[in-house]
Amino acid sequence: MPALPTEKNKESFTSIISKSVYMLVEGKDEEAFFNKFFNKNQRLEPLNLNDNIQIESIQGINNLDASIGALITRTGFEKIEILLIIRDADNSHNSSFDSVRHILHKNGLPSPNNMNDFSESGGSVTTGVYILPGKPEDITGNMLEDLCLSIPDNPLIMPYIDNYLSLITGDPNVVDPKNIHKSKLLVFLASHKDVPNTLGLGTKKNYFDLNHANLYLLVEFFAKVKTLLEDGD
């Protein structure tokens, strides 16, 4: 049975469904990252993905179930050809993927058999699920912050940041950061002349190399979106 949309989730979708691809992300940082990624990546920029993909923040992964429940009851849902869900791996890539698949099935939607892939064609809506940062063996970490830290605009600064954080976490007189991934990202951002305080602002200021090889899997995923749209025409 589809999840009943709450008033909070109804209100979270402020825009009219206007594009054939609808993409749910966890927060505003992800929204800013992908908007910039589509325009800045040399392979994706010619595909004009911003013309096809409408990005919505669900204000936290715990809202995914209710957000999808709200989405499928919205006026204009029938316009959506492809529904994308992008989320962090958190504690486990596999568990996070299984959680998304369960939510999709619960709401009567198809799901991919594998992460970072798409459901089989045939239904009215194709779904695609990408678990950040990508393949576990490629990048150490479990969230978008880790992916961004692997593609810094100035890689030479990273050993200094690692050394600083190792000194902090190794000192019994200092309280360890609650989230080392987010802390490391903020230290990286603070190393710039113009200091932003969020990943989204850092992306807008070009502090990440959006043509880096570590993004190849993400590039392939979104290139497939364009192919699916063209095949459906």
Which CATH number belongs to the domain containing residue 59 in this structure?
3.40.50
Burial class (CB in 10 A: 0-12, 13-18, 19+), 201: middle
59/119 same-domain check: yes
Contact 81, 227 (CB under 8 A): no
184/77 same-domain check: no
189/100 same-domain check: no
Look at the block and give the residue holding tokens 């950040």: 132
What's the CA gap between 30 and 223, in Å, rounded? 18
- pLDDT tens digit string along 25-58? 999 999 999 999 999 999 999 999 999 999 999 9
Domain count, the chain: 2
Please state, rounded to an integer, the average pLDDT across all residues of the chain. 91
131/100 same-domain check: yes
Q: Given this model, what pLDDT does residue 10 score?
A: 47
My answer on whether omega of the bond before 133 falls inside 30° of 0, hence cis, is yes
- pLDDT tens digit string along 178-204? 899 999 999 999 999 999 999 999 999
41/97 same-domain check: yes
162/53 same-domain check: no
119/224 same-domain check: yes
101/188 same-domain check: no
108/185 same-domain check: no
User: Does residue 31 lie in a domain region?
Assistant: yes
Q: Given this model, what pLDDT does residue 92 score?
A: 92
Tell which wins on pLDDT, 231 or 34: 34
13/89 same-domain check: yes
Domain assignment of residue 192, given as a range:
144-204
